[in-house]
């Protein structure tokens, strides 16, 4: 994972300062050598060969001494290419920062790549102490990060396809949506590929349908009969020839995409499981309440392996977008969540906090306590995630796995009501939270 270092480090003796405004075809750059008064500028083709020659020239000119490089991205093709060269120290700038500077110095809205590179150079020269160096994490962590993020993208694409499929079926075959609990399941997809219309499905023999359901792991005879009865009792929703002619083609295409996405998600999950099991940090997060196969690698990625990455838990909470943002002007005060943040990491902590309610005594107690006070669900989840970040940060910093019993004893020692509000009990093989009655 590529991280933004938050702990201040002593700066090297810079040989030069470079700002690059990247683009798809070419990059505009500005360079100011140490001790020089006027910057140089130029263009650089967006090819690995052109970049290699350009950096080789810098290395020869400045004898391999460190060079500070400012650019308007923290990840992407150009960043990954520049990371090849150890003498280049990268300082990414948020796009909103440059946009604000551009609006401040060019109220007319005028914009050009050379002008943007000049602004970036000014930021690097005069506000470098406010920027964070780009520090690469270990290859194992960065590889895991790419896998979990891409898996989430595939899952989102599968959800989008499922929504498209549902919308299409509702126009001509709404019974399928009602009959199937999960429209993108293997059973639903197989049925739609074989019988994409109600008319075709109703023509199937009951024995054929029964055999089909059994082949797709539907073993309950009662459930199978319920499906068969629903099929033969259904009435056509439309008789529009054009709709009935084109919709099955659309449905088959969407189903094929869902099946492909499902296969790819399974491949990614297999690789994620292998790399998670072999990761150095897995022992720290394995026993977290609510951290299953999907969230465990995401939490490893969120923290990383560099213990100097975060100065304190508040820095991580602010970076992730979990910590609230306060705006004050005169007598007005407005507290809201942070919009400009790494969405995937924010989702990770938010989803982990949600799942922890079902497994952690104090998390469940805290959630119930806040809900009873009238707070909204997502507001409470963000507050719970903020608490979890502070706990996990200390575990991560000290290389100490989380232990629920130890934390509950600490809560009791400090007379926290969260330690005495209830407990988890096993009822009928399931975990149930029981509140203590005063």
Q: What pLDDT, on the 0 to 100 scale, is given for residue 166?
A: 96
State phi, psi for 234 to the nearest 5 degrees: -70, 145
User: Using one digit for the tens of pLDDT, what is the confidence trace for 200-246?
Assistant: 999 999 999 999 999 998 888 999 999 999 999 999 999 999 999 99
The first and second tokens of residue 319, run together, are 């970076």
pLDDT at 309: 82
Contacts of residue 135, defined as CB under 8 A and 6 or more positions apart, other chains included, come to 2, 3, 4, 5, 306, 309
213 burial type by CB count under 10 A (0-12 exposed, 13-18 middle, 19+ buried): buried
pTM: 0.81
CA distances from 215 to 81, 187, 277 (A): 50, 9, 34
Rounded Cα–Cα distance for residues 355 and 156 (Å): 19
Q: What pLDDT, on a 0 to 100 scale, did the predictor assign at position 100?
A: 82
Cα 284 vs. chain centroid, distance in angstroms? 21
Q: Which tokens sit at 264?
A: 């790819």
Structure tokens at 395: 């575990």
- Rg for the chain (alpha carbons), in Å? 28
Please report, for the chain, how many H helices and E strands are present, in that order.
18, 11
Q: Do 349 and 381 touch, CB atoms closer than 8 A?
A: no
Q: 94: closest CA among 308, 337, 306, 338?
A: 338
Report the interhelical angle of 186-194 vs 206-215 (nearest 10°).
Answer: 140
Q: In the prediction, which pLDDT does 386 show?
A: 94
Residues in the chain where the model's pLDDT stays below 70:
1-9, 335-340, 419-438
Q: How does pLDDT run across 389-406, given as a tens digit for each residue?
A: 999 999 999 999 998 888
Question: CA nearest 179: which of 225, 230, 237, 238?
Answer: 230
Question: What are the structural domains, with CATH classification, of the chain?
Answer: 2-136 (3.30.420.110), 144-274 (1.10.287.4070), 285-435 (no CATH)
Q: How far apart are CA 416 and CA 365, in angstroms?
A: 11
> Which element (helix H / strand E) includes 377?
helix 377-398
CA 301, 303, 306, 308: dihedral to nearest 10 degrees?
160
Mutual angle of helices 404-413 and 361-372, in 10-degree steps: 50
363 neighbors 289 (Cβ within 8 angstroms) = yes
């Amino acid at each position: 994972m590529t991280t933004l270092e938050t702990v201040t480090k002593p700066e090297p003796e810079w040989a030069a300062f470079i700002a690059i405004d990247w683009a798809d075809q070419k990059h505009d750059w500005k360079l100011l050598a140490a001790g020089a008064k006027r910057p140089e500028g130029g263009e650089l083709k967006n090819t690995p060969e052109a970049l290699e020659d350009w950096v080789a020239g810098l290395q020869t000119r400045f004898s391999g001494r460190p060079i500070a490089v400012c650019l308007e991205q923290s990840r992407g093709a150009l960043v990954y290419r520049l990371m090849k060269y150890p003498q280049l120290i990268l300082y990414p700038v948020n796009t909103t920062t440059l946009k604000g500077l551009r609006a401040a110095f060019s109220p007319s809205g005028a914009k050009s790549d050379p002008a943007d590179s000049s602004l970036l150079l000014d930021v690097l020269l005069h506000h470098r102490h406010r920027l964070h160096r780009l520090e690469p994490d270990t290859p194992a962590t960065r590889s895991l990060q790419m896998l979990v993020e891409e898996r989430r993208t595939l899952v989102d694409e599968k959800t989008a396809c499922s929504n498209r499929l549902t919308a299409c079926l509702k126009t001509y075959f709404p019974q399928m949506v009602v009959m199937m609990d999960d429209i993108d399941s293997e059973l639903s997809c197989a049925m739609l590929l074989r019988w994409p219309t109600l008319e075709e499905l109703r023509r199937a023999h009951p024995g054929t349908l029964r055999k089909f359901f059994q082949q797709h792991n539907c073993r309950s005879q009662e459930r199978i009969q319920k499906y068969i009865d629903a099929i033969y009792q259904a009435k056509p929703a439309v008789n529009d020839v054009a709709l009935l002619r084109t919709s099955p083609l659309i449905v088959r295409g969407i189903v094929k995409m869902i099946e492909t996405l499902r296969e790819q998600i399974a491949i990614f999950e297999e690789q994620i499981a292998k790399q998670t099991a072999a990761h150095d940090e897995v022992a720290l997060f394995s026993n977290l309440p609510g951290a299953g196969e999907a969230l465990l690698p995401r939490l490893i990625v969120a923290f990383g392996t560099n213990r100097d990455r975060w100065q304190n838990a508040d820095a991580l909470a602010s970076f992730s977008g979990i910590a609230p943002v306060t705006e004050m002007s005169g007598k007005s005060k407005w507290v809201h969540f942070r919009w400009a943040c790494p969405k995937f990491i924010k989702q990770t902590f938010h989803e982990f906090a949600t799942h922890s309610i079902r497994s952690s005594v104090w998390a469940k107690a805290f959630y119930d306590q806040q809900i009873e006070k009238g707070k909204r669900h997502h507001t409470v989840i963000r507050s719970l995630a903020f608490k979890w970040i502070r706990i996990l940060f200390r575990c991560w910093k000290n290389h100490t796995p989380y232990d629920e019993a130890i934390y509950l004893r600490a809560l009791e020692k400090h007379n926290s009501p969260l330690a005495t509000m209830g407990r988890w009990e096993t009822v009928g093989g399931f975990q149930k939270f029981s509140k203590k009655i005063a």
